[in-house]
Structure 1
Amino acid sequence: MKTKIILFTITSLLLFGCKQEEKEPKNTAISEESIFNLSSKWKTQDDKTVEIKDFRGKVSVMVMIYTACKAACPRLVADMRDIESKIPKEDLKDLNFILVSIDPKTDTPERLKVFAKDNFMEDEHWTFLQGTPTTVQEFANVLAVKYKKISPLDFSHSNIISVFNREGELIHQQEGLGVNNTETIDKIIETVKK
């Protein structure tokens, strides 16, 4: 009899405990270090309006470029494509490759779409973003990217590729052009597997 009472009590507690767990909301809080705290609106190369927090849940690899750039940006684009090519295909579904324009006046969604096509960056994991001068500056500050307009069509800018975890926290930065990206790739794969 005591055994039946004990079993009934344990079963009741387990069932009650499970029901309590189901009622508790999932943690949707965003840490203070997350880029998902930015509330700015952006246009994609498909002319869709998004916020940075829309990329939550995947590891993000981000770089700031502009399409009229003839010097550093083609190398940054090549570096992003090289990183993508070294990621196992099954992990690409858990990644966002995001290229943010520092020239929102020129880099319209239409122009970004053509640029994506010309650079073989049309897969679902590639996103190009156009903001406003204010949102671009805010985003650059978060990434520690410096840029300055030096002529009507040219900018001087930092060459930094940033990696963010699924919660939008910066976990790695690669600085320079054509540098050895082994550490960056290892960090991306390690973070995707978490």
Structure 2
Amino acid sequence: MDSMSENQVWTLVDLPDGVKAIECKWVFKKKIDMDGNIQIYKARLVAKGYKQIHGVDYDETYSPVAMLKSIRILLATAAYYDYEIWQMDVKTAFLNGKLEEDVYMIQPEGFTSPENAGKVCKLQRAIYGLKQASRSWNLRFDEAIKEFDFIRNEEEPCVYKKTSGSTVAFLVLYVDDILIV
């Protein structure tokens, strides 16, 4: 909920006439170590995107994903030239995606604002479970990475390159994971 608040994921509003708010649910997980000991409890708020209606609360859902052969080529190149390789997971990635459509969601269980009990959440950002969540995150990433002078590969839209003098860097985006060479 802190991440949702920091990213200003929604605003509480009255539900417009003729509009139906989608539901949401909490998904709970236990992260365990190799010995089976619980390391951390995790909770994620997920929209019930399967109840979204095409043309009403989403239009486009397509989001590119890096091809395995592209990753293999970059890893082989990195091994041959002894390049450094990093991998990173973008935490709360989908919360960075900006929504273009008007999507309304009921307030999450356990976090209903008493003074705004009759209101719904108008989503400003994508959350997990929305049909367009991956697409909106991908578009936001593309927009942001280009500000750092990375160039998107025409044939493989999830591979980016930046050259500075004799230094070259590659980024490969795979949903919310990034491979950096």
Q: TM-score range by the shorter chain?
A: under 0.3
TM-score, normalised via structure 1 length: 0.21
More strand by share: 2
Structure with larger Rg: 1
TM-score, normalised via structure 2 length: 0.22
